[in-house]
């Protein structure tokens, strides 16, 4: 390297050093420290006691671990495809050539910027089986309202419906993908006699598959880390809360990690849960990317 190159490198490292130090101390160090704690018995106070693979052996014998894993996978597998379908439907609605389309786009996007904590509180009141507006609508048509709070068969389904309030954000991304499709492809299809439905499945859907892949990966990330909704609905932050919803139906994985670490003060066991969660998430992401090779089209 020339003296000028070395000087530029030194100046560049000097300017990015705050980020490098922050990344090292607030990202890399906690990751390595949690790996160390996963092999210990540690309450957060005093000294950690090495127990080898004890936490991981206990983990696979813990019924709450399997319950939390089941709840999380159930929610994710249901919420991600539903979210993709809803986002595409909203994007198609936003793409319509009407005078008020800008106002419609703003209205459809608005719920996605509201705090999830506040939306969860509103949801609890909205679906309350005794006085909630949704329950009253069911009764208006002579139907017994489902209990999205107290019935284990409906609690996770209720959170899937709640998640669709944030579909406006992904819908804007889908809208950008739809608008990037060359218009002449649709004109050629119209000349060949293809209707709107055939154009959607033959042109629009294949050409937005990269956006669908992006939304699936983002949805998996959010779905596997679902926490706020369950925390609010089940009062998960209360010290006396021994269950998360009826029959632990809302005991999601991240909520179980939180309760293990900060309510039961078992930091070592919580760290083991975190690392198993990381491995599961990594395997699912690799599977999705490998599966995407079969159906994602990056060229017209």
The reported pTM is: 0.88
47-59 tens-digit pLDDT: 999 999 999 999 9
Query: Among the CATH numbers 3.30.2020.30, 3.20.20.70, 3.30.750.80, 1.10.3720.10, which is that of 64-292?
Result: 1.10.3720.10
**C-alpha separations of 114 from 18, 93, 169, 205 in Å:** 32, 21, 11, 29
All residues at 6 or more sequence positions from 13 whose CB lies less than 8 Å from its CB, including other chains: 20
**Domain ranges across the chain:** 64-292
Beta strands in the chain (DSSP E): 40-41, 49-50
Half-sphere exposure of 277 (CA within 13 A, CB side): 28
User: Rounded CA gap, 57 and 29, in Å?
Assistant: 25
pLDDT at position 213: 95
User: Rounded CA gap, 26 and 31, in Å?
Assistant: 9
Mean pLDDT on 86-98? 90
Contacts 24+ apart (CB under 8 A), 226-230: 226/72, 226/75, 226/76, 226/159, 226/252, 226/254, 227/252, 227/254, 227/255, 227/258, 228/116, 228/117, 228/120, 229/116, 229/120, 229/123, 229/159, 229/162, 229/163, 230/159, 230/255
User: Rounded CA gap, 245 and 228, in Å?
Assistant: 13
148-170 tens-digit pLDDT: 888 888 999 999 999 998 899 99
Q: Which of 289, 286, 252, 280 is nearest to 74 (CA)?
A: 252
Look up tokens 């009764």; give the residue.
139
127-148 tens-digit pLDDT: 888 888 888 888 888 888 888 8
- Is residue 115 predicted with pLDDT exceeding 70? yes
CB distance 118 to 166 below 8 Å = no
Q: 3-state class of 98 per DSSP?
A: coil
Mean pLDDT on 20-47? 93
Angle between helices 267-292 and 209-224 (to 10 degrees): 170
Q: 3-state class of 136 per DSSP?
A: helix
263-275 tens-digit pLDDT: 999 999 999 999 9
Look up tokens 């309030």; give the residue.
165
The maximal CA–CA distance of the chain, rounded, in angstroms, is 83
- Is residue 300 predicted with pLDDT exceeding 90? no
273-291 tens-digit pLDDT: 999 999 999 999 999 999 9
Burial of 145 (0-12, 13-18, 19+ CB in 10 A): middle
Please count the other Cβ atoms lying within 10 Å of the Cβ belonging to residue 209. 15
């Amino acid at each position: 390297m020339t003296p000028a190159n070395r000087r530029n490198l030194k100046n560049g490292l000097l300017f990015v050093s705050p980020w490098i130090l922050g990344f090292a101390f607030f990202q890399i160090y906690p990751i390595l420290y949690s790996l160390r704690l996963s092999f210990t018995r540690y309450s957060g106070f005093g000294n950690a006691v090495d127990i080898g693979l004890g936490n991981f052996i206990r983990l696979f014998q813990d019924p709450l671990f399997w319950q939390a894993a089941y709840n999380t996978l159930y929610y994710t597998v249901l919420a991600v495809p539903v979210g993709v379908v809803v986002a595409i439907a909203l994007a198609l609605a936003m793409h319509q050539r009407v005078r008020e389309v800008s106002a419609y786009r703003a209205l459809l996007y608005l719920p996605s910027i509201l705090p999830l904590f506040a939306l969860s509180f509103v949801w609890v009141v909205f679906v309350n089986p005794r006085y909630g507006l949704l329950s009253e609508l069911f009764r208006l048509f002579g139907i017994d309202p489902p209990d999205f709070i107290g019935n284990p068969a409906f609690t996770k389904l209720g959170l899937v419906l709640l998640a669709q309030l944030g579909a406006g954000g992904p819908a804007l991304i889908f809208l950008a993908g739809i608008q990037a499709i060359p218009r002449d492809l649709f004109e050629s299809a119209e000349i060949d006699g293809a209707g709107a439905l055939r154009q959607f499945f033959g042109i629009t859907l294949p050409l937005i598959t990269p956006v669908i892949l992006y939304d699936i990966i983002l949805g998996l990330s959010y779905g596997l880390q679902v926490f706020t909704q369950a925390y609010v609905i089940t009062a998960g932050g209360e010290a006396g809360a021994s269950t998360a919803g009826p029959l632990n139906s809302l005991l999601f994985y991240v909520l179980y990690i939180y309760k293990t670490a900060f309510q039961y003060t078992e930091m070592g066991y919580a760290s083991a849960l975190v690392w198993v969660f990381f491995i599961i998430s990594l395997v699912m992401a690799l599977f999705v990317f490998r599966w995407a090779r079969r159906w994602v089209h990056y060229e017209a």
